[in-house]
Structure 1
């Protein structure tokens, strides 16, 4: 694997360079933000497997030639949507609807989603754009009144903040239920930085902390957390050859009643985001948590992912601090973020 580290003034700038130099198959291995001479710098490490596409197909269990077939299908799909665009008669929309649709496309909303929204607007002439969008982007705010499962599996790629999101979820719960017993089970034991942060904050906040790198220790940890109000499991990031269903089976968690919360950031390109949705797909209840919002330049991908995954948005996360940096999702918060680029908690 070829590994290279990129730095820049913003995460979006760095990701653009990674895509330009290493292509859409590059995998984010880690990221950090630091100050140099008073200037904020963003550093992202990416990796790229240089093996032939045919060997990658066979290693992943896909039929030979899958990558080439998939590439050709994506080209055909783009051409189909290019043909459909002239059929979108914007004059059939009200001026307000037309402005909103054009804005969403500039913000990165995909052609498929734009066509679906256009069709909804035509089918419901009296409806506003927000009314139609609310039917496409479900919301289910974080909080045990909505998420009554005792176990919560925090999943997502490395560097997107799933460990800190688990801590923010727990701190939000502690704020609403001060006496609640909360436990963390760290299954991501190989990454030292996240492990130290989780153990440190668990000790400060009087949360139970356990490590479970394998099936046996996972079962022991779950047994020890039987009396807890909520149990957060920090799932390790998965490679291209893995998926979440396989990981649950390996850890003996197939029968565990749990909610799965996928942590994503809005500056991933569409190909990588689709790969993450497939890799971390879960059959049970789940949600999307959007992180690093303060580093993103646009938020159209929030709409794309909601339509592709069919999962509700549960929370919006921003900033480096653990406290007061997560907001349970609501429709007004999401639409102010997308249309006004207003981060939760900031003044309009």
Structure 2
């Protein structure tokens, strides 16, 4: 690797020199700011790694990433982190009110990403009279699960293995049945190769009076959809996608890509304690065309909830429900803004009277620092 150090009067000037001399493939290895003879100097160390002759190229095809995509993506993430490190000293927290400053610092301790924190900071400066919650509500969309907000007849419940998608599908169905006892609900188990989930879904579907079908391939999926044509709501429990697989390809293989976009919704079930790289991988693997939502599950197992803010602000996919506990009943709440921000600022699980311990902001302190009652 070729390594070179650049200095200049501003970080922008130094970055421009790095790009001009080493090209767009340069990787930022380090940066520092220091004073020399009373003058502020910015120093950036960059590296450039050349591929060896005869090195293998990335696979081709419509689904393959462009050549060098993985390396480019890794380098870009490093550059982005360095840029945010350079921007942090320029964020003048004293320009915020005490409540806004305390809230921003609290969110960063909870794992809110630098990009989201900078966006929130800019929104607060643009509207000095706004509360933190008002700005956050504009960044994290919410669309509570229910027949009115989600009128689609087909609901694909997706997510990684062990995330709780099978129990989430059952909880969704029980929520709808509780609001309309005459609703005709059916389940299609497309994850029928996993014995435990298959038995649980079949048992509770039969116990609750829901129609139950299994679909392991395209032909059986077509038969199941025909058999459930008269149902008001059909929940499809999809299998987890291994690395290299995607929900889009699975839908095409099962004949579900031809379903009308406005008649099918996808609900991605995720726990909030995955790291940023894992969440990014899951979002790409389970990306859905058409109506989609995120269900945050296993909230009672998490210690912080900054990921909820990061994903909502970064993807604009609405949060539809919050799931917690091991029981099927009274363990899922349609998402609302008050429920989400109580969870973020007070670590209060929906349906429980108090916060979930730890260094959470007390109730009165949460309302004080956000400038608005959650």
TM tier relative to shorter chain? 0.7 to 0.9
Deviation readout 1:221-280 (Å, 9 max, x if unpaired) = 111111111000001111121111111111111121201000000000000000111111
Map 1:171-320 → 2, pairs under 5 A? 171-256=174-259, 257-320=263-326
CA 64–321 in structure 1, closer or farther in 2 if over 3 Å, else same: same
Moved more, 333-342 or 82-91: 82-91
Deviation readout 1:118-169 (Å, 9 max, x if unpaired) = 0111111111000000000111101101100011000110000000000000
TM-superposed CA distance for 1:65, in Å, is 3.6
Tell me what 2:32 maps to: none
Aligned with 2:204: secondary structure? Answer: helix
Alpha-carbon separation, structure 2, partners of 1:250 and 1:170: 26
TM-score (norm 1): 0.82
TM-superposed CA distance for 1:63, in Å, is 4.1
Deviation readout 1:198-243 (Å, 9 max, x if unpaired) = 0010010010000011111111111111111100000111112111
TM-superposed CA distance for 1:58, in Å, is 3.9
Tell me what 1:20 maps to: none
* Alignment length (residue pairs): 295
Aligned with 2:169: secondary structure? Answer: helix
TM-superposed CA distance for 1:61, in Å, is 2.7
Structure 1 residue runs without a partner (length 5+): 1-53
CA 262–117 in structure 1, closer or farther in 2 if over 3 Å, else same: same
Tell me what 1:162 maps to: 165
Partner of residue 332 from structure 1, selected from 327, 332, 338: 338
Deviation readout 1:175-196 (Å, 9 max, x if unpaired) = 0011111000011111111111
Deviation readout 1:305-343 (Å, 9 max, x if unpaired) = 111221111000000000100001110000000000000
CA 101–148 in structure 1, closer or farther in 2 if over 3 Å, else same: same
TM-superposed CA distance for 1:73, in Å, is 1.3
Alpha-carbon separation, structure 2, partners of 1:227 and 1:117: 47
CA 299–57 in structure 1, closer or farther in 2 if over 3 Å, else same: farther
Moved more, 163-172 or 245-254: 245-254
Tell me what 1:36 maps to: none
Tell me what 1:15 maps to: none
Aligned with 1:226: secondary structure? Answer: coil
Tell me what 1:140 maps to: 143
Task: Calculate the aligned-residue CA RMSD, in Å.
Answer: 1.5
Deviation readout 1:3-62 (Å, 9 max, x if unpaired) = xxxxxxxxxxxxxxxxxxxxxxxxxxxxxxxxxxxxxxxxxxxxxxxxxxx989649833
TM-score (norm 2): 0.77
Aligned 8 A contact 1:57 1:67 in 2: no
Aligned 8 A contact 1:244 1:280 in 2: yes
Map 1:77-92 → 2, pairs under 5 A? 77-92=80-95
Structure 2 residue runs without a partner (length 5+): 1-54, 355-374
Alpha-carbon separation, structure 2, partners of 1:279 and 1:234: 16
The alignment status of 1:346 with 2:352, answered yes or no, reads yes
Tell me what 1:100 maps to: 103
Alpha-carbon separation, structure 2, partners of 1:187 and 1:228: 17
Alpha-carbon separation, structure 2, partners of 1:339 and 1:110: 16
Alpha-carbon separation, structure 2, partners of 1:97 and 1:57: 47
